[in-house]
Every structure is written in C-alpha cells, then in structure tokens.
Structure 1
Amino acid sequence: MEMERQETYDIMAVCLLAGKIMLQSGAETYRVEDTMMRIAASFGAHQSHPYVTPTGILFSVEGTEPTKTKLIRIIERTTDLEKVASVNGISRKISAGEFTIEEAYKELKKISESGSPYSLWVHVLAAAISSGCFLIMFRGSWGDFFPAFVTGGLGFLSLLYFHQLVPIKFFSEFSASLLIGLQALFFVSTGIGGELDKIIIGSVMPLVPGLLITNAVRDLMAGHLISGLAKGADAFLTAFAIGAGIAVTFSFL
C-alpha cells in the first residue's frame, strides 16, 4: 500500500513538472491537460484529472485512498516553443514505454533547468531584423529599414531590461513602446527616417502578443473559458500598454 502511494506521488510529480514547463513556455491550456493525462495513463494512473489555468495547475489522481491532489503556482510565463516540443517528445516516449518514472522525471528536470539556447544579443538581433522586415511588409521604404532595425532592437532590449528592473509586464511594455516612439520620432526629426508611422509599426511588432492571442482563441474554442478569457485579458493589457506608450509619444508632436 505504501509503495503504491509513493508511485502515485511520483507519477503526479512527473505530470506536474511536464505541465509546468509547457504552461510557462507558452503552450495552450488544453495541450497541457492532454499531455498530463497521457503521461499519467502511460504510467498506469488512468483516473487523472488536471485543471489548468494560466496561473496554476491542480492535479488529482484517483485509485488509492485517499485521493491524491496537488497544486502548483505559475508565476513567470514566456514563449519557448522548443521546450514545449521537447516535453511533447518525452510524452511520446513515455507512451511508447521507453522511459521509467525516474528517467522521465530526470529528462523533464533537465528541460526545466535549461536556459534559452540563444544569447541575449541573438534575441535582440532577431527583434531588430524582424522589425525592419515588418516595416517592408507594411509597405515601408527601404530607406526606413535602418531606423526600424535600430528602433526595434533597442526597444526589445529595453523591454527585457525594464522587466528585470520592475517585474510588472504592463510597466515594461509601456516603457519599451514609449522608448520606441521617441526613437522613431528622433529618426524622423533628424531626417534619417521618412515615415514615422511605418517605423513605429515595424518596431513594435516584436512586442505584440501574437502567440497569446492565438492561444486565447484556441482555448476558447476548446471550451476552456476561464483560461481563454484570462489570456485574452492579458493580451489586451499588453496591447493597451503598447498603444499607451505610442500615444504618449504622439503627444509630443
């Protein structure tokens, strides 16, 4: 009986760790719940009930008395689809019987403790290049590519810096968009840039919560109303922060 209880706890630990990694990395709510149930079923816990929200995971397993239930909080959320794919890969191997509980937990722990495979400057460079490319996509001129490149890169760098300074998303996104607007205004006023609106639009695109909006819609369509509405509200606040920062910039005109 004691061994069965301990095995149940081990299964729950693996499922909760997998769910935590996926939720923190930007996975949809229904995908997290489905993965947790599949892992539990593969280890013999067929009566599992995960309940996932953007800020926490509640997981319960039946079959032993009393019923086991655990709760974990989710504080930080980011976008790292590579980790989501890695957890899905481990889940498939568990379903195929290639991992024991201990091996699966060790592999998931490695993923959880691993940082981003790309350095800070690679992220900033990618944001800068994408800003310039978005400007061209929105029919901007090639002469504005460099201003958008610089503005988008510095804006994304300031987002990361302000978020470390004050871990409040609204503040960091507002500050970053304000800085983007001021930089774009500087480039246009000095004659280096031509179209202020195109430079701003291209530069703020790395800040736009595209994945968050997509996940909100997908969760709503899958019937996860609380998670869908919460993620939608989060995306709205991000969009409002970006718009407010740019609006402050235009007040200087």
Structure 2
Amino acid sequence: MLTEPDAKNLIERFSRLELRYAEQYGPYSQARVFFLVEELVTLRFALLEASGAGMELLRQQRHEVLTRVQHLYDTASLPELAPPPVRVFGSNPKIIEFDRALYTARYASAAEAMRDEVVYMEQWEPELQSRPHAYMYVVDDQGRMRIWTRPFRMGDLVLGRNRAKISGVPVAHPMLVPERLQVIAAGEITPVISGGITSVVANLKSGHFRPPPSAAAAVRSACAKAIGLDPADCDVLTMPFAASPAAPATLDRSETSSARSRM
C-alpha cells in the first residue's frame, strides 16, 4: 500500500522531472505534454495502491495534472491545416464522415491488411506494460469503441504516429471504420490495467476527423457500455478543434435515413 509519505515522494519526483522537461524542451512543448500524460496514467495506477491521506494527495495531484494538460491542449498553437475531407450530420451526437473517394485511393488496401488487428473494446485484452502505452481508437457511429491493438510508446507519439505503417501506408483513424467511415470520436487511449482495465486516459487527437470537445461524452459512454467503467474513471483530453470540422456540408434527412439504413 502507498502511504502518505510515498505519495508525497512520488508527487515531488514528478514535479522535478516536469520542471526539467519544461526547461529542456520548453513549457509548451509536446515532450512536456506527453510527460504529463504519462504522469496522469502513473497516478491512476498509484491510486489503486493508496489509501487514506495518501489517496487524497494523489487524487488532488491527478486533478491538477489533468487541468494542466488540458490547458496546454487548449492553448496550443495548431498548425494551419487544410479543412479535413469530412462532412458532419446530427447534433447529439455529431457524426463525422470521412470522404469515401479519398479513403479508397489512399487507405483502403492497407486497411484490409490490418482488419484482424482492430477489435471492439469489449473484446480487447491489452497486455500489461512496464511503461504506459497508447492505442489508436474510434467511437463509431453506433457508439461502440474500436481499437487498433498495436501499442505506441509515449515517445513514439511525441515524434508522430505516422511512423506506424501498414503495407507502406501511414495508419489513420478512418482505417478503423472502413464500412461507413463514420465516427463520433477518435484519438488515442491508454488503459490502466490491474486485473483488467480499471481506468483509461484518452484524447481526441485525430487530424482526419477532428472531433469537437463535446465528443468526450461519447468516449465515456462507450467505455461504460463496453466494460462498465465509471465515467469518473475515464479522463478524456479534448482538442481545440471547431465545433464542426471545417464547417463541412451537412447531410439532409434523406441522406441521414439512407446512412442509418445501411447500419
């Protein structure tokens, strides 16, 4: 069990390391962001072993770290990007659909090769890792979470996920939903494992879909439906994307009905 002195030592060690990262890479650097995310995951693990005053200290620290990371995301200077090739329909939740022609030209053949590595969350059995690992996920238009089961180290994410390729093609979130290319949320998720998944730390970082902050609710709902996680055990970091990505064309009622009939 982690005692109060243990909790204080852990918090102090992370504070010193965060200061070092900020000094070495910059206070708004991706390196500092991912260090804080790793701390957030570690605190989730530590809370499983803590009690009493130590648990309360760790809870407070987790809340503070979550607030700091979210502030860094909210104030990040995002590069000027072309509008994503998507359209949005619905309102609660918003459903984001990737362009079929572009998907077919760029991703379809590689997506077929990785089909067996994509599972629904309720089927997912991630291995316990010595360090936190992240996975690509989407919440599809039915509200179910799909996960690509190949893990990423935090350092890989700092350098960019495009290092992961299938058949020479960089893996992208649309490849997880090849049937309809529709999602409510997409990003990266890190499981906290102790005899099963006890909590998760996720984000909404998807340049292909650019889900709005409101999509965080869909992530929590999908985790609850799949494995019974309490929403309080799902930390979801949002990105400062527009409420609807690049104001794409909105489907009319006939298109919406047609899309639903194919589900």
Fold shared by both chains (TM-score > 0.5): no
Normalization by structure 2: what TM-score? 0.28
- Greater strand percent: which structure? 2
Larger Rg: 1
Normalization by structure 1: what TM-score? 0.29
- Greater helix percent: which structure? 1
If asked which structure has higher relative contact order (CA below 8 Å, sep 6+), I would say: 2
